[in-house]
Amino acid sequence: MRIAVLGGGRSSEHDVSIASAASVADAIDPSLHEVIRVTIARDGAWTSDGHPVALVPAGGDLARLVRLDGGESADVDLVFPVLHGPWGEDGTVQGLCETVGVPYVGADVAASATGMDKALFHVLATAAGIPRVETVVILHAQWQADPAAVRDEVANTCGYPAFAKPARLGSSFGISPVPTADDLDAALELAFAHDDKALVERRALGREVEVGLLGNAEPHASPLGEILHDADWYDHDAKYEPGGMRLAVPADVPPAVQERARELAVAAWNAIGCSGLARVDFFLEGDQLYVSEINTIPGFTDTSVWGRLMAGDGFAYPDLVQQLIELATDRHAAKAAYRG
Ligand SMILES: Nc1ncnc2c1ncn2[C@@H]1O[C@H](COP(=O)(O)OP(=O)(O)O)[C@@H](O)[C@H]1O
Ligand SMILES: [Mg+2]
């Protein structure tokens, strides 16, 4: 197969995505597939090998990567988006692939969109009976129109300490702890610098644990891993600075908590209708698990948490990449059976 690996992207998570995409491209078996690396610049321009390109339909299940400078175009059998955050993990690039008709790795349009949007995920998870910390969703317009009402709602629903965050971002951008009511305005202003929708959540006081998932209809759930760090919270530096965090796999928790976490991870997967891969993050307070979020394109280098969680079950990184390619092909074929 000829596979286009997409990296970069317009979101704040551009650099993280460049690293993830390079790892994926390097891990694709060259005896099985030909890789075309496509970089999406921060301004949205697509290039491959420095040449401007665009992805267009070529009929059937093929996409064509057209050289916009007149060079030779290439037909592509599969797209592997390794993009984090808005315009990549949120259903938009997935929608492009659907429009073009080409198979692509990972969650489909609706699952990507609802996985990316923490407010929509909160609604779906709650409807599915998945435990979540107390949460208030706030639109920027609402905050501007009546901040006093928002302050009251936060105080009554979440209380303090809390956390404020933009609805659709990742890598801890725009997120801050809100120790007291006096800190709410600044925290919301920061969140609203990134998105017109924000969440305030009760601050969970406890541990952070994560489960990796791989599959389509019946995903395989990895052992539970625990994120260990010395920071006050799992901020950008703790995530990405060398030595900023340690991952303990399996997490040192009772077997019942392990089992419950894997069940809840699959429940979160089903709540958004996920496919391919995901990482589900939890807060653990005592023995009580709360699902924090689902990431449909989690950090994806061979040393990222998702890869290491799956490695805990004996999956080597290149095998994971090959499995994702096969899952994408399977999902595409399964969908084609429905006429639409
Ligand atoms: N309600 C909360 N309680 C405790 N810590 C939180 C809460 N929300 C976020 N955090 C901290 O902020 C980090 C990033 O928040 P998260 O919602 O996972 O956003 P991102 O998508 O950027 O990873 C979490 O890993 C955790 O350390
Ligand atoms: Mg997170």
Identify the CATH number of the domain in which residue 166 sits: 3.30.1490.20
Nearest CA to ligand 1 atom 2: 203
**Same structural domain for residues 47 and 157?**
no
**Same structural domain for residues 292 and 239?**
yes
Contacts of 95 (CB under 8 A, 6+ apart): 109
Ligand nearest to the CA of 118: 1
Q: What is the pLDDT, as a whole number, of residue 176?
A: 96
**Same structural domain for residues 326 and 242?**
yes
- Per-residue pLDDT tens digits for 102-141: 999 999 999 999 999 999 999 999 999 999 999 999 999 9
Domain boundary, last residue among 202, 222, 248: 202
Distance CA 108, CA 90 (A): 9
Expressed as residue numbers, the domain containing 139 is: 134-202
Q: What is the pLDDT, as a whole number, of residue 244?
A: 84
**Same structural domain for residues 182 and 217?**
no
**Same structural domain for residues 328 and 209?**
yes
**Same structural domain for residues 97 and 170?**
no
> Closest by alpha carbon to 325, among 11, 34, 7?
34
What is the Å distance from ligand 1's center to 122 Cα? 14
User: Which helix H or strand E contains 211, and what residues bound it?
Assistant: strand 207-215
Ligand 2 ion: nearby residues, β-carbon < 5 Å: 281
Mutate to test the pocket of ligand 1, among 116, 172, 281, 296 (most ligand atoms within 8 A of CB): 172
* Number of structural domains in the chain: 3
Q: How far is CA 10 from CA 39, 63, 277, in A?
A: 11, 22, 22
Distance of CA 151 to the CA centre of its chain: 30
Mean pLDDT of 187-198: 96
**Same structural domain for residues 331 and 211?**
yes
257 neighbors 230 (Cβ within 8 angstroms): no
Q: How far is CA 324 from CA 4, 233, 318, in A?
A: 14, 31, 10
| Token pair of 208 as six digits | 């952070």
Distance of CA 163 to the CA centre of its chain: 19
233 neighbors 201 (Cβ within 8 angstroms): no
- Per-residue pLDDT tens digits for 255-292: 999 999 999 999 999 999 999 999 999 999 999 999 99
**Same structural domain for residues 181 and 214?**
no
Q: If you search the block for the tokens 């704040």, which residue do you land on?
A: 12
Ligand nearest to the CA of 198: 1
What is the Å distance from ligand 1's center to 322 Cα? 31
**Same structural domain for residues 54 and 90?**
yes
Q: How far is CA 279 from CA 45, 147, 221, 239, in A?
A: 29, 34, 9, 15
Q: Is 111 part of a structural domain of the chain?
A: no
Distance CA 41, CA 39 (A): 6
